[in-house]
Structure 1
Amino acid sequence: MRWGIPIRSITARIILLAFALQFTVTGGVLVFVQQASQRALAAEQRESIDELRDELAAAWRVGGSAELRGLIEDRLEATHGAVAVILYARADGTPIAGNLSAWPTVIAPTTSWRTIDLYRTGSDQPERMGVTAIRLADGSRLLTGHVIEANLLIARVNREAMLAALAASLVMALLGALIIGRALSRRIETIAATAHAVGEGALAARVETSGSGDAFDVLGNSINAMLDRIEALVSQLRLITDGLAHDLRSPVTRMKSLIERAIVDTRDPEALVSLDRVAQEAEALLAMLSTALQISRAEAGIGRERFTAVDLPGLLEDLVEIYGPLAEDEGFTLAAEAPAGLQVMLHREFVSQALGNLIENALKYAAGGRRIVLTARERRGTLLLEVADDGPGIAPEQREEALTRFGRLDPARHLPGSGLGLSLVSAVAHLHGGTVELDDNRPGLTVTMSLRDLPRPTRSA
């Protein structure tokens, strides 16, 4: 199973959408958690600072400056100066008590919240602090705060952890999206493989369903119901074609026998000429009927069970031996080219008849040509069977019309024929999973049957 998925396919779009959704949700949750934790920690710190400020202000209102100084000393001694920041100062900013040596010049007497780098008493390194300040009723100032260096470290660790989690979520989201896309692609490939098998003639192929009742099961059941109907119709077609072959060939054959008997019994020269023409038309009608039935059966995939191992060089040599004398009578040389040992599984009778039709077309329509070449070769797993002549060829704009059933180009309408030769070739190619192409042989026409994915003959030990 391959992982390559075209970037513009619907599967690739589903993968990208799944990846974007997963990464967005995961990243959004991580960012929300990180931001929420930071906001909660900051709110807790501000709440503790506000409580300390309110407690100190209440002490000043109860006992004045002495009560406030005593409470400040108790608070600093209780915390051993770990994180608390307190400064009680006169109206001009001169310190009275606390662990700051001077009132910060950038802090107004009344400040709701501010982060700033300050030196605490006895410290030789600045520290990041969050502080608030109020002015007391006598004009003195009170600053309370909290060292937030540890909080900044926690925030940095959280940020790094969040980035690592985002990177991990990126990988996991991509992997999850690929798994989802591959699962979808595998289900679609199963349906496509079934459709391809049916197209190749395996009418019994069906889409596997899991019984989960999901959308793929609904689609698979619908396709299987359609295939059941197609198989029934093809079976009916097979019965009808067999019936036609029996019911129509027999009257035409009896008519031909009666005409031949009449030819033997009559002595009138003019009647003999007319009967001979009628016999020829009966023969042409019988051949046309047989060819049309073969085309219908090949297009329906009937005949794959008769694939056998065929030696291509031997097949081409047989055709040269059969059609060689006729080609010499028409002024052509017939040659075959195929690598020794080239063997594939195919319907020998159908392929022989298709190549025979191409040889007959070349003899009939390649007026002015002198050489017809049969070629068999392999190219990247595809068998190429070619019939090339050096006649006038077919104009590019007329080649598609030439491949249609009963299609006859204007220059060939005065010649006998039914217009089914190339149609049979196309049907035989379809039976073998291939196509037919008409190309310029410079000069002349090259008809190529490209037969793909043919089974290989088993080799005995």
Structure 2
Amino acid sequence: MMLGTTLFRSTTARFVLLAFVLQFLVTGGVLVFVQEASQRALAAEQREAVGELRDELTAAWRGSGDEGLRQLIRARLEITHGAVAVILYAGPDGTPIAGNLDAWPTVIPPGTRWRTIDLYRVGSERPERMGVTAVSLPDGKRLLAGHVIESSLRLVRVNEEAGLGALVAALALTLLGALVIGRVLSSRIEAITQTAGAVGDGALAARVPVGGSGDAFDRLGLSINAMLERIEGLVSQLRMITDGLAHDLRSPVTRMKVLIERAAAETQDDNALAALERVAQEADTLLRMLSTALQISRAEAGIGRDRFSEIEVATLLEDLVEIYGPLAEDNGFVLDASSPPGLHATLHREFISQALGNLIENALKYAQGGSSIALSAREDGSQIILTVADDGPGIPPERRAEALRRFGRLDPSRHLAGSGLGLSLVEAAARLHGGDIRLGDNAPGLRVDLWISGSSHM
């Protein structure tokens, strides 16, 4: 049911169905028209032939009387050898006088213009389908003229069978043509979709392939490529400005911190020392923000992939527990880790460690009231999911997107120290590894899943 609904909602599938229906209707309509036209033409030809025979016999009676009509009947039956001609010259009561029928058909009154009927001819062992017409002569006698149309009916059946076969073949060819058209359209659209996906993953240099045909898809591709070039240029300029600004600010902030430390060492005033310590803390916070912003910018630019290496995931998590375990205990939490044995991944160890460390620090800072923080890893196809889960208050579903926004901080956390870049750094790390970050409900608490590509077992 779900598959059928998905296919029906697919624009390509609807287009293929529409093309198939239209082509089938056109082909079927042409075949039906040809068949009907052939049958009408054949029926008209039969009526015309029977009408000519009737007129010829009637003219013979008028010109030569009874004897002349008999002679013409014998001559016509001898010429055709009784193959198709049906003639009966009968008296007023229907008694046969000449012809190749034994009796006048009771269902054919004189004056019948055209009728098809099954009758026995003289010497025939089975009835035959005939098309006949009947007239009443001025002296009261009757004249019936007709043709056997068995062969015409066989031809009609052959035409119907041929039309049905052609319709089936047309159905198959039409479906094949519609599928080919849909496949061509899907491949062109898929190329655009893949380019958009690559750009969404940070590969701003990706472009839509252009075949040079100049069709609508080529024009669309050229327009998208021009837009992507513009976006790439603007993003590159923004990154250069951001990187340059962050890099340039680090030096004066560092000098300011050195001056604060010197001033703190030289002063004896307790109030001044307290003020200088607060300023030093703010300087440290600013330096961390600048360093984090630089890391995020470099990760988004793809810098760092040359430092990927294959590591054992369980060892990575155990190292994090060893580093952050004492800090967790000091804050009243139990930090543990679990991972399938033999699970390996190709990743930037330092960057992933820092991202997971940020998540642990966030849990220690914001999961007040909780008692445990769990690190875990699991495999999902070709991806590994690294999870940090706590049992604190968590984040409401409607505010999780806000928490992922750069410099985004939820209101209850604004009184705590921080820059709002922690989750942004985690997201940048995930994107560098071809994945993403997802916030979920740990029931209770927050679960943060870090999806990365490139899993393997050894």
Residue 449 of structure 1 pairs with residue 450 of structure 2: yes
Could you tell me how far apart the structure 2 residues matched to 1:240 and 1:311 are?
Answer: 38
Q: Letter of the aligned partner of 1:130 in structure 2?
A: G
Tell me how far apart the structure 1 counterparts of residues 10 and 222 of structure 2 sit (CA, whole Å).
24
For 1:384, the equivalent position in structure 2 comes to 385
Residue of structure 2 in register with 1:12 after alignment: 13
Q: Residue 78 of structure 2 corresponds to which residue in structure 1?
A: 77
CA 408–237 in structure 1, closer or farther in 2 if over 3 Å, else same: closer
Q: 1:126 to 1:392 in 2, by over 3 A?
A: closer
Q: Which residue of 2 aligns with 1:171?
A: 172
Q: Distance in 1 between matches of 2:417 and 2:372?
A: 22
Deviation at 1:112, TM superposition (A): 1.2
Which piece of structure 1 moves more, 407-416 or 92-101? Answer: 407-416
Structure 2 Cα separation of the partners of residues 346 and 378 of structure 1 = 15
- Counterpart of 1:62? 63
* 1:392 to 1:101, Cα distance in 2 relative to 1, 3 A: closer
**Aligned residue type for 1:359:** I
Let me know the Cα RMSD of the aligned residues. 2.5
The residue identity in structure 2 corresponding to 1:72 is: I
- Matched with 1:156 is 157
Shift of 1:77: 0.9
Secondary structure of 2:123 counterpart: coil
2:235 aligns with 234
Residues 1:144 and 1:443: Cα distance change in structure 2 (over 3 Å):
closer
SS in 1 for 2:43: helix
Q: Deviations over 1:280-320 (max 9, x none)?
A: 11111121222234334445555445544343223223323
| Shift in alpha-carbon separation, 1:448–1:157, aligned structure 2, 3 A | same
- Give the aligned partner of residue 102 of structure 2: 101
Query: In structure 2, what is the equivalent of residue 142 of structure 1?
Result: 143
Distance 1:35 1:180, change over 3 A: same
Partner of 1:29: 30
Query: How many residues are aligned here?
Result: 455
Query: How far did residue 218 of structure 1 move?
Result: 1.6
Q: Which amino acid aligns with 2:356?
A: L
What SS class does the counterpart of residue 112 from structure 1 fall into? coil
* 2:375 aligned partner, one-letter code: L
Greater shift after overlay, 105-114 or 170-179? Answer: 170-179
Contact preservation (8 Å) 1:86, 1:98: yes
Cα gap change, 1:377 to 1:289, in 2 (>3 Å):
same
> What is the alpha-carbon distance in structure 1 between the residues aligned to residue 369 and residue 38 of structure 2?
92
Compared with structure 1, are the counterparts of its residues 316 and 221 closer, same or farther at alpha carbon in structure 2 (3 Å cutoff)?
Answer: same
Note if 1:256 corresponds to 2:264. no
Instruction: Map 1:348-363 onto structure 2 (within 5 A).
Output: 348-363=349-364
Contact 2:116 2:129 in 1 (8 A): yes
State the secondary structure of the residue aligned to 1:107. coil
Paired residues for 1:275-290 under 5 Å: 275-290=276-291
Judge conservation of contact 1:94–1:102 (CA < 8 Å) in 2: yes
Query: For 2:393 and 2:15, how far apart are their aligned partners in 1?
Result: 53
Matched to 2:209, the amino acid is E
- Between the aligned partners of 1:373 and 1:70, the Cα distance in structure 2 is 115
**CA distance, structure 1, for counterparts of residue 307 and residue 319 of structure 2:** 20
Distance 1:397 1:40 in 2: 74
Does structure 2 retain, via aligned residues, the 8 Å contact 1:405–1:420?
A: yes
Aligned 8 A contact 1:89 1:96 in 2? yes
For the 8 Å contact 2:188–2:217, the answer to whether it is kept is yes
Deviations 1:35-89 (A, max 9, x none): 2222222222221111122222222222222211111111111111111011122
Alignment of 1:217-366 (within 5 A): 217-299=218-300, 303-304=304-305, 306-366=307-367
> Are the counterparts in 1 of residues 343 and 455 from structure 2 also a CA contact under 8 Å?
no
- Tell me, which stretches of 5 or more residues in structure 2 are unaligned? none
Task: Give the aligned partner of residue 195 of structure 1.
Answer: 196
Contact 2:137 2:143 in 1 (8 A): yes
Structure 2 CA distance, aligned partners of 1:237 and 1:310? Answer: 34
Aligned residue type for 1:160: E
Cα 1:280–1:150 shift into 2, 3 Å: same
